């Protein structure tokens, strides 16, 4: 049985509508505290030590991570290296467990850039499940020295010092927001209604033509 062209077009449109972006984590809804946060540093910075904070969160949505927004600032009067790595982990119960993905970027924020943030695109990001706990971590690269800004949200924050084990740091959530794309494209209800109406009208019109006696065009016999 052949699918009418107009029906095939409707089905194609339904299946190719862009998926919406959902927010799986939002500790940036109330802004953040400038020039105050969890210290981030490297062995090559004036700190002479690797300080890596990581924060536990529960995903609000299910989907593939598509973007991470962060407020991680560096100290331009001390270092000029803005390079940072953000990473996502499973939750071991006391800090990061298995690494799910990591992304390098250069921070555009300094200690006087209140209430701006960096957006990191995460193509082919990992899948987060609604209600599941994960850990979001930040560490510097090169000679980075700065901080992951504080917010007024509460969560469990851990820190790794040099190559030691993860230790509990505080309950002050850092500034972060995570967007996810649903694994199956979900068209808007209004789009579904419009497309369904178009398909229904086309089917009704074709049926009326047959009732009125207009012969249906036949395909030539192929040998």
Evaluate if residue 65 carries a pLDDT over 80: yes
pLDDT interval class at 53 (50, 70, 90) = very high
Per-residue pLDDT, averaged over 163-180, amounts to 95
Phi and psi, residue 45, nearest 5°: -90, 175
Fold exhibited by the domain 20-181: Jelly Rolls (2.60.120)
Per-residue pLDDT, averaged over 3-31, amounts to 62
Residue 130 CB neighbours (<10 A) = 13
Evaluate if residue 93 carries a pLDDT over 90: yes
Residue-level pLDDT at 34: 82
Residue-level pLDDT at 124: 84
Evaluate if residue 194 carries a pLDDT over 50: no
Evaluate if residue 3 carries a pLDDT over 80: no
Buried b / exposed e along 11-36 (16+ C-beta atoms within 10 A): eeeeeeeebeebbbbbbbeeebbbee
Domain residue limits, the chain: 5-14+187-211, 20-181
Residue-level pLDDT at 112: 78
Distance CA 72, CA 176 (A): 9
Judge residue 94's burial from the number of C-beta atoms within 10 Å of its C-beta, 0-12 exposed, 13-18 middle, 19 or more buried: middle
Structure confidence by residue, pLDDT tens digits, 103-142: 999 999 998 777 789 999 998 899 999 999 999 999 999 9
Evaluate whether 158 touches 45 at the Cβ level (below 8 Å): no
Residue with the bigger pLDDT between 113 and 156: it is: 156
């Amino acid at each position: 049985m052949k699918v009418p062209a107009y029906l095939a077009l409707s089905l194609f449109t339904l299946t190719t509508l862009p998926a919406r972006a959902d927010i799986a984590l939002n500790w940036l809804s109330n802004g953040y505290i400038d020039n105050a946060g969890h210290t981030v540093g490297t062995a090559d910075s004036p700190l002479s030590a690797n300080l890596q904070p990581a924060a536990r969160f529960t995903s609000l949505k299910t989907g593939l991570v598509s973007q991470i927004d962060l407020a991680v600032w560096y100290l331009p009067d001390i270092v000029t290296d803005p390079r940072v790595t953000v990473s996502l982990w499973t939750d071991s119960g006391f800090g990061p467990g298995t690494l799910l993905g990591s992304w390098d970027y250069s921070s555009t924020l300094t200690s006087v850039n209140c209430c701006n943030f960096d957006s990191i695109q995460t193509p082919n990001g990992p899948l987060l499940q609604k209600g599941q706990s994960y850990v979001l971590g930040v560490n510097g690269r090169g000679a980075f020295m700065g901080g992951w800004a504080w917010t007024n949200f509460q969560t469990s924050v851990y820190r790794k010092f040099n190559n030691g084990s993860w230790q509990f740091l505080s309950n002050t959530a850092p500034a972060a927001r995570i967007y996810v794309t649903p694994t199956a494209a979900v068209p808007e209800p209004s789009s579904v209604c419009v497309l369904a109406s178009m398909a229904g009208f086309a089917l009704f019109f074709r049926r009326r033509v047959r009732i009125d006696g207009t012969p249906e065009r036949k395909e030539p016999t192929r040998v």
